[in-house]
Amino acid sequence: MGFVVRGIERLSQAGGYVAGAVSVLLTALIAIAVTSRRVFNAPLLITEEIAGYMMVAIVFLGLAYTMKVDGHVRADILLSHLPRRAHRALETLATVIALGFAGVLVAGTWRLFSEFYSQGTRSFHYLQTPLWIPGSLLVIGAALLGLQLVARLLKRR
């Protein structure tokens, strides 16, 4: 089981690295757009659309990595006062519930992706991007989160 957990954690790490790289690219895009508008009086009309897709990539591809490093917000007020055994049981229960949520998220994002792909839906912005492309980021990120939650349960065994 150890190699499965390590493999899942490598995927989560990769998603986190991609999200980090996209954050840097988003910063560069915004800086270029501001410079283009202010210095050259030539706004980049695609900035808003591309920035939106980049935000989707940052959030969804970063979900699993954030779970891996225990970076998600949670309330430890109750947990800190529980005995170790109850603490572990509650953590496991919370992980199982989160896994159920991730399953619903994967199913919902897959359905959206499938609809975008089958109907050839495009954005209404200048690039008219096929929406299945950013939609695929939703599915990948949700699936990575689900896998990371499975790895978390396997490590608890």
- Give residue 7's pLDDT: 95
- Interval 20-65: pLDDT, tens: 999 999 999 999 999 999 999 999 999 999 999 999 999 999 999 9
Phi, psi values for residue 57, rounded to 5°: -65, -45
Q: Give bridge partners of residue 122 from the DSSP assignment.
A: 130
- Interval 64-99: pLDDT, tens: 999 999 888 776 777 778 888 988 998 899 999 999
Task: Please tell me the pTM assigned to this model.
Answer: 0.90
What radius of gyration do the chain's Cα atoms show? 19
